[in-house]
């Protein structure tokens, strides 16, 4: 007798059962062995064991001690999906049939193992593992071959950001621990920059550590101990930074987690007065190592007035003789007033900045009448005189001549008052020679040769 037969025989000798049917009726836990319903087929007789009757010839069945993945019931290769699809279908079928199958399989396996000489080979495929989901561990007994199959059997679904350790395709062994952590979205605003990140941490503090965010000295929108649910959370983090302010010829250094330069300025104990400002916008984000200059500004307004010249309008007048111009309305200049802002920044005077301009007084246009009436060819009472000799004596025959004093000008050395009283405009030296002679004749008619006390005798030569 072999060692195996000795072991089995030693167990069976005191058995009170006379035949196999009697043994079947007393299987522990009250289960009966049903050959017709056995999913693996009828039990194969083990020849040579004492006390067992001959079993009728039955179809060959797979060895129950071989894992089900290797059993003699192969997965059919279907047209759609091949072996993978067949494996999934079989797994789904096994999941639904597992309670009933285990109820029937356990007594069968015990009988087979008992009759074959031990239960160690069967138990080897029943693994005890620990499944930890979000910090809640539980111990399971499973026949699954890998982590993915175990999760499928337990109805655990994982998202793209969920983490399972070991990996989903890792093989299972007795005593393994499977850890599952769900991913959570965090809408993170870090120093003013918005991001959407994923974390498996369940608290704000854990998320900061996992994301590598320096939280020492930082300002948080939520406590570190605050939980993060499956739907995630929104979190603002302002890290601590070193900022230097230059104000009043001194440096002011401060460590701050302020979100704006204005708040960091207050933390440094500095105050802006009146028109004071900073070298960067007050609502900007203070960067680590940044230097900000405080500009002390003083200023005042200055008003400047400016004359605005008037325009001249010349109008033809047919009642005045040609060459005659009369000022009908004298022009008046206007007055413009401009206001400037004069600033001094940190003691340095800046270029004035114009604030506004107003017209205090509008200029008035000057109107000059210009004669268009033809000059007479002769002046009664003054013809037949030697006007050329008089002109030669007075001005050397130069119509634009002006004496040394600037008082008299023209061919006949008119002063301005006399010239204009005769209907002339401007100065005599500005008028044509013919007009000067015509007005000299008019002057002679009214006053004789007295206006030319020295050269007047030339008229009669």
In terms of C-beta density within 10 A (0-12 exposed, 13-18 middle, 19 or more buried), how is residue 323 classed? buried
Residues 215/235, Cβ–Cβ less than 8 Å: no
Task: Give the pLDDT band (50/70/90) at residue 239.
Answer: confident
**Domains 127-181 and 241-295 fall in the same CATH topology:** yes
Q: Hey, which CATH number is domain 127-181, 1.20.120.1080, 3.10.20.30, 3.20.20.140, 3.40.190.10? A: 3.10.20.30
Query: CB neighbours (10 Å) of residue 235?
Result: 21
Residues 368/315, Cβ–Cβ less than 8 Å: yes
| Three-state secondary-structure class, residue 7 | helix
Helices (H), ranges, 295-369: none
What does each C-alpha distance from 443 to 20, 321, 440, 448 come to in angstroms?
Answer: 172, 16, 5, 7
Q: Does the pLDDT value for residue 92 go beyond 90?
A: no
**Beta-carbon contacts of residue 374 (< 8 Å; ≥ 6 apart):** 321, 322
Domain 375-460 in CATH 3.30.70.1520: no
Q: DSSP class of residue 57?
A: P
- Among 34-38, 213-217, 364-368, the least confident range: 34-38
Query: Shortest CA distance to 111 belongs to which of 48, 59, 34?
Result: 34
φ and ψ at residue 336, rounded to 5 degrees = -115, 135
- The percent of residues above 70 in pLDDT, for the chain, comes to 73
In terms of C-beta density within 10 A (0-12 exposed, 13-18 middle, 19 or more buried), how is residue 309 classed? exposed
Q: DSSP class of residue 16?
A: -
At 407, list the tokens.
């008082």
Beta strands in 285-324 (DSSP E): 290-295, 297-308, 312-321
Q: Which residues pair with 130 in a beta bridge?
A: 139, 177
- Token pair 């020679």: residue: 433
Residues 426/325, Cβ–Cβ less than 8 Å: yes
- Among 86-100, 235-249, 426-440, the least confident range: 86-100
- N-to-C CA span, the chain: 188
Give the start-to-end residue ranges of the domains of the chain. 3-123, 127-181, 184-238, 241-295, 301-369, 375-460
Assigned CATH class of 241-295? alpha beta
- Mean pLDDT over 376-397 rounds to 89
At 71, list the tokens.
């059993």
Query: Shortest CA distance to 214 belongs to which of 196, 239, 243?
Result: 239
Assigned CATH class of 184-238? alpha beta
Report the DSSP pairing between strands 127-133 and 177-181.
parallel
For residues 255 and 47, the model is more confident at: 255
- Give how far the C-alpha of residue 268 lies from the chain's centroid of Cα atoms, to the nearest Å: 28
Helices (H), ranges, 117-236: 120-123, 147-153, 204-211
Q: Does the pLDDT value for residue 113 go beyond 80?
A: no
415: left (phi over 0), alpha (psi -120 to 50) or beta: beta
pLDDT tens track for 56-88: 444 444 443 333 333 333 333 333 444 445 555
What does each C-alpha distance from 239 to 191, 233, 283 come to in angstroms?
Answer: 7, 19, 17
- Whole-angstrom Cα distance, residue 38 to residue 60? 13
Q: Does the pLDDT value for residue 128 go beyond 60?
A: yes
Q: Which residues pair with 303 in a beta bridge?
A: 339
Architecture (CATH level 2) of domain 301-369 = Single Sheet (2.20)
- Mean pLDDT over 378-393 rounds to 90
Query: CB neighbours (10 Å) of residue 131?
Result: 21
At 315, list the tokens.
């109008």
At 383, list the tokens.
């013809």
Q: Does the pLDDT value for residue 95 go beyond 80?
A: no
- Whole-angstrom Cα distance, residue 33 to residue 49? 19
At 436, list the tokens.
């000067």
pTM above 0.85, yes or no: no
- Whole-angstrom Cα distance, residue 1 to residue 15? 19
Task: Give the pLDDT band (50/70/90) at residue 108.
Answer: low
Instruction: Determine the pLDDT at residue 8.
Output: 32
């Amino acid at each position: 007798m072999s060692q195996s037969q000795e072991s089995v025989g030693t167990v069976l000798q005191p058995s009170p059962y006379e035949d196999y049917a009697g043994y079947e009726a007393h299987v522990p836990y009250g289960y009966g062995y049903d050959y017709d319903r056995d999913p693996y087929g009828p039990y194969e007789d083990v020849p040579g064991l004492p006390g067992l009757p001959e079993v009728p010839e039955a179809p060959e069945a797979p060895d129950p001690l071989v894992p089900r993945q290797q059993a003699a019931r192969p997965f059919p290769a279907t047209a759609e999906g091949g072996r993978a699809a067949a494996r999934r279908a079989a797994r789904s079928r096994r999941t639904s049939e597992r309670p009933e199958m285990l109820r029937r399989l356990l007594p069968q396996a015990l009988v087979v193992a008992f009759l074959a000489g031990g239960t160690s080979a069967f138990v080897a495929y029943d693994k005890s593992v620990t499944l930890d989901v979000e910090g809640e561990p539980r111990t399971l007994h499973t026949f699954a071959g890998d982590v993915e199959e175990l999760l499928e059997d337990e109805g655990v679904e994982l998202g793209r950001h969920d983490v399972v350790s070991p990996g989903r395709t890792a093989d299972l062994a007795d005593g393994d621990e499977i850890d599952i952590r769900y991913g959570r979205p965090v809408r993170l605003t870090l120093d003013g920059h918005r991001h959407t990140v994923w974390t498996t941490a369940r608290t704000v503090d854990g998320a900061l550590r996992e994301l590598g965010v320096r939280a020492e000295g930082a300002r948080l929108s939520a406590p570190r101990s605050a939980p993060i649910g499956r739907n995630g959370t929104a979190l603002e983090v302002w890290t601590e930074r070193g900022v230097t302010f230059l104000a009043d010829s001194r440096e002011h250094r401060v460590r701050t987690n302020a979100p704006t330069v204005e708040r960091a300025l207050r933390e440094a104990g500095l105050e802006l007065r009146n028109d004071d400002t900073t070298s960067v916008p007050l609502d900007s984000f203070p960067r680590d190592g940044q230097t900000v200059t405080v500009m002390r500004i003083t200023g005042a307004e200055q008003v400047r007035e400016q004359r605005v010249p008037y325009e001249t309008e010349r109008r033809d007048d047919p009642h005045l003789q040609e060459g005659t111009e009369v000022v009908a309305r004298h022009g008046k200049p206007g007055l413009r007033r401009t206001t400037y802002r004069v600033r001094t920044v940190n003691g340095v005077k800046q270029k004035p900045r114009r604030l506004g301009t107003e017209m205090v007084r509008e200029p008035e246009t000057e109107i000059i009448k210009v004669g268009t009436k033809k000059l007479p060819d002769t002046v009664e009472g003054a013809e037949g005189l030697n006007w050329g000799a008089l002109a030669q004596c007075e001005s050397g025959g130069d119509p634009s001549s002006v004496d040394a004093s600037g008082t008299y000008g023209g061919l006949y050395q008119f002063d301005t008052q006399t010239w204009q009283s005769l209907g002339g405009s401007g100065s005599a030296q500005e008028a044509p020679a013919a007009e000067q002679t015509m007005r000299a004749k008019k002057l002679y008619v009214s006053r004789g040769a007295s206006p030319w006390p020295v050269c007047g005798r030339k008229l009669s030569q």
